Amino acid sequence: MDFYQIISLVALVAFVILVIYAVRLLIQLKKTAESVEYLALTTAEKVDKTSSTFELLNNVSSVLDNGFYKAIAMGVDLARRWHKKKED
């Protein structure tokens, strides 16, 4: 066995090892992609289920921003101040 045959054998072994790691990497990437796809699908289903809750929260916040609520809050605040002033 001369020098070039030894170098060729070492290069072949290194290439085989590289191919093995590349195949394992691709298999792991496939599993990861499947997991991400499953996560995305289940998350989308959960978001669809909670959309009605978000709509309710939006409606409640719009009611709280309404002038009627602000008038009630101002009345409660005035009553508290009047009660506190009466106690002093």
Predicted pLDDT of residue 46? 76
- What is the Cα–Cα distance from 78 to 25, expressed in whole angstroms? 69
In Å, how far are 35, 49, 58 from 40, measured between CA atoms?
9, 14, 25
Per-residue pLDDT of the chain (88 residues; tens, 9 = 90+): 899 999 999 999 999 999 999 999 999 999 999 999 999 888 877 777 777 777 877 777 777 667 777 777 778 888 888 877 777 6
Structural domain range at position 28: 3-87
Q: What total number of domains does the chain contain?
A: 1
